[in-house]
Amino acid sequence: NQRDPQPGDLIEIFCVGYQHWAVYIGGGYVVHLTVPTGGVISSGSGPGRDNKKGIVRKNTLKDAVQDCEWKINNLLEDKYIPRDAYVIVKEALRLVGTEHQYHLLGKNCEHFATKLRYGQGESRQ
């Protein structure tokens, strides 16, 4: 059984064909980098979403996950010391509504989430 997410935890969301990443900020909310596609906001890591503008959104965890599976995955704990939860949440909230260049291999939602948690943006995708 998985523990409840804590502020600053990374949330890995498993959708059909791709994974999406968000940062839990408490109270049932996450902040994540999304990419507009055809008028719909989707998670930023799907196929064909390259060299676009991403928008940082604050959503409930339930809305971000939708029908997908998810887990807490603080994947770089063996490599980096996480920043203080207060700092992660404050920075995440400051970024809500801002646009960022999105690139699948260099600046995706996993880079965004890991940079918030560890101060270093990395992605296995």
Which DSSP symbol is given to 45? T
Q: Kindly name the residue from 68, 103, 109, 111 that is annotated as catalytic.
A: 109
Residues 71, 87, 11, CA angle at the centre, nearest 5°?
A: 10
User: What is the maximal distance between C-alpha atoms in the chain?
Assistant: 39
Q: Kindly name the residue from 32, 68, 103, 111 that is annotated as catalytic.
A: 32
Q: Please, is 8 exposed, middle or buried when counting C-beta atoms within 10 Å of its C-beta (0-12, 13-18, 19+)?
A: buried
Q: Kindly name the residue from 15, 20, 103, 111 that is annotated as catalytic.
A: 20
32 part of the active site: yes
Q: Give the residue numbers marked as catalytic.
A: 20, 32, 109
